[in-house]
Amino acid sequence: MLTSGCCAPLVAEPVGEAEAAELARVFKALGDPIRVRLLSLIGAHDGGRVAGEGVCVCELTGAFAVTAPTISHHLKVLREAALIDSQRRGTWVYYWIVPATLKRLTGVLALPETLTADLR
Amino acid sequence: MLTSGCCAPLVAEPVGEAEAAELARVFKALGDPIRVRLLSLIGAHDGGRVAGEGVCVCELTGAFAVTAPTISHHLKVLREAALIDSQRRGTWVYYWIVPATLKRLTGVLALPETLTADLR
């Protein structure tokens, strides 16, 4: 789960099959609008940036026009891709982002400066 | 197609529904190992970094154990997500990466420095 190697940009040299499969799994987890919004809601919340603290799922479900079990399903997909982690405390589950996974993605999508210089 | 707004990190403030849908579409295009490898092969090739030049599809198909039409399908998905662009010249189609789209993705996945300081 994105543990092998680290962060070499895709455009620096052709990525191997195993790493491509790992990356595709994480990108696929982000390939849904509700999951993109959930990751954003968690990461934009102060508690969601602190491992072991987190955002209560009870604060997340209200933002969506889908049922709580559907939200739980999407959160599970994000968790299985190591984009977020979670902990049950009492009645509720709390979620926080996993910075290492996001950093890995920005690393693999990075471009040489020569290609981005005129993009501002 | 990733044209509205630009590059605000997902974790800076909750992303809106329209932008989430656009981003999910691009991430979904990356949610397949063959497409991750194709993007990497194109971006790691000198020609694939130059708009209007590109890498010949004839150089890409040999790297995969799938048929040429399957590769063409995956290239189409990447092109529709604006991750690559293409041009037909004579018999072959040539592909190059679209730096603006990759830069947008690294922008939205970016983290505050406080969260990445101890990840090296």
Q: What is the mean pLDDT of residues A68-79?
A: 97
Q: What's the longest Cα–Cα distance across chain B?
A: 52
Say yes or no: A5 contacts chain B, CB-CB below 8 A: no
Answer yes or no: are the C-beta atoms of A13 and A108 closer than 8 Å: no
Residues of chain B found within 8 Å of residue A12, distances taken between Cβ atoms:
44
Min Cα separation A91/chain B (Å): 25
Res. A65: pLDDT tops 90: yes
Cα dihedral sign for B60, B63, B67, B73? negative
Say yes or no: B20 contacts chain A, CB-CB below 8 A: yes
End-to-end Cα, chain B, rounded Å: 33
Say if the Cβ atoms of B28 and A31 lie within 8 Å.
yes
The pLDDT score that the predictor gives to residue B3 is 46
Answer yes or no: are the C-beta atoms of A57 and A95 closer than 8 Å: yes
Say yes or no: B56 contacts chain A, CB-CB below 8 A: no
Q: Which residue of B has its CA nearest to A26?
A: B31
- Residue B3 Cα distances to B7, B18, B19, B99, angstroms: 10, 11, 9, 13
Q: Which residue of A has its CA nearest to B8?
A: A40
Min Cα separation A15/chain B (Å): 6
Give the pair of three-digit tokens for residue A57: 């799922």
Interface predicted TM-score of the whole assembly (ipTM), two decimals = 0.92
- Helix (H) and strand (E) counts in chain B: 6, 3
User: What gap in Å lies between CA A4 and CA A18, rounded to an integer?
Assistant: 9
Query: Which pTM does this prediction carry?
Result: 0.92
Q: Which residue has the tokens 């092969």?
A: B41
**pLDDT tens readout for residues B39-56:** 999 999 999 999 999 999
End-to-end Cα, chain A, rounded Å: 33
Answer yes or no: are the C-beta atoms of A95 and A60 closer than 8 Å: yes
